[in-house]
């Protein structure tokens, strides 16, 4: 955690995800999301049977420090399937919040991937509250007080915001996707892919 002074607060609403891979055949997976900024990690609740298109609508708050670096200006997001022993990584991504700290708002889908392969998207609603009053000619940022540090209305239509598409059949996760816990993601944010045997090298049947 940075020792530099705090200049504001970033309110992050992890709304939902779409087009995740669900390796379960007979039931939908339980899914949660995690966000990490400047060494601070926070999670959403678990969407039971969220499947490929989980919904959370969870608000998280992160302090914004004066120090500028990748650690303080890159928000890491990831989605996991909640499993009995080890949670399975479904996809991860990074969002540069530099522009959001200037404009005050961000509402969009963030891409998720594993080893460069697309693994769905997560929708984020972010609002930056500055600790200092904004310039008189600017209305992009809010003055951080106990009164106005509140969640703003969503820009999505009400009918679309909590809507999710139907589940579709997708291929199972690769072996490399298993064994990535939420703790390991914020530490390294890297994955390795196990080699897959080629069918032509497989032994012939007797």
pLDDT in tens, 110-130: 999 999 999 999 999 999 998
3-state SS string for the chain: CCCCCEEEEEEEEEEEEECCCCCCCCCCCCEEEEEEECCEEEECCCECCCCCCCEEEEEEEEEEECCCCHHHHEEEEEEEECCCCCCEEEEEEEEECHHHHHHCEEEEEEEEEECCEEEEEEEEEEEEEECCCCCCCCCCCEECCCCCCCCCCCCCCHHHHCCCCCCCCCCCCCHHHCCCCHHHHHHHCCCCCCCCCCHHHCCCCC
136 located within any domain: yes
Task: Single out the residue of 72, 76, 79 nearest to residue 52, CA to CA.
Answer: 79
- Cα–Cα distance, 197 to 179 (Å, whole number): 20
133 located within any domain: yes
Per-residue pLDDT band at 28 (split at 50, 70, 90): very high
Per-residue pLDDT band at 167 (split at 50, 70, 90): confident
Range of the domain at 143: 6-147+169-195
Number of domains in the chain: 1
Q: What is the mean pLDDT of residues 40-57?
A: 97
156 located within any domain: no
Give the 3-state secondary structure of residue 16. Answer: strand
Could you tell me the CA-to-CA distances from 206 to 35, 197, 198, 199, 203 in Å, in that order? 52, 19, 19, 16, 9
157 located within any domain: no
Q: In the prediction, which pLDDT does 138 show?
A: 55
206 located within any domain: no
The answer to whether 16 and 57 are in contact (CB under 8 A) is: yes
Q: What is the mean pLDDT of residues 7-18?
A: 96
**Terminal CA-to-CA distance of the chain, rounded, Å?**
61
12 located within any domain: yes
The answer to whether 91 and 78 are in contact (CB under 8 A) is: yes
Count of Cβ atoms closer than 10 Å to residue 131 Cβ: 16
Q: What is the mean pLDDT of residues 52-79?
A: 96
Mean of all residue pLDDT scores within the chain: 82
Query: Among the listed ranges 36-40, 117-121, 149-153, which one has the minimum average pLDDT value?
Result: 149-153
DSSP 199: G
What CATH number is given to the structural domain containing 175?
Answer: 2.60.40.150
- Cα–Cα distance, 53 to 89 (Å, whole number): 15
Q: In the prediction, which pLDDT does 137 show?
A: 59
Q: Which residues contact 167 (CB under 8 A, 6 or more apart)?
A: 22, 28, 51, 52, 53
163 located within any domain: no
101 located within any domain: yes
């Amino acid at each position: 955690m940075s020792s530099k002074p705090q200049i504001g607060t970033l309110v992050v609403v992890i709304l939902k995800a779409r087009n995740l891979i669900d390796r379960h055949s007979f039931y939908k997976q339980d899914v949660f999301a995690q966000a990490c900024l400047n060494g601070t990690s926070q999670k959403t609740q678990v969407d039971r049977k969220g499947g490929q298109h989980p919904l959370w609508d969870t608000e998280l708050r992160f302090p914004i420090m004066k120090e500028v670096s990748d650690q303080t200006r890159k928000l890491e997001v990831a989605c996991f399937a909640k499993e009995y022993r080890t949670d399975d990584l479904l996809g991860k991504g990074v969002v540069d919040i530099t522009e959001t700290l200037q404009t005050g708002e961000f509402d969009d889908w963030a891409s998720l991937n594993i080893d460069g392969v697309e693994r769905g998207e997560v929708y984020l609603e972010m609002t930056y509250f500055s600790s200092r009053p904004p310039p008189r000619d600017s209305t992009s940022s809010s003055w951080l007080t106990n009164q106005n540090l509140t969640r703003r209305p969503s820009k999505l239509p009400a009918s679309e915001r909590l809507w999710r598409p139907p589940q579709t059949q997708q291929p199972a996760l690769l072996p490399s996707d298993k064994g990535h816990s939420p703790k390991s993601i914020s530490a390294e944010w890297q994955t390795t892919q196990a080699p897959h045997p080629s069918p032509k090298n497989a032994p012939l049947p007797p």
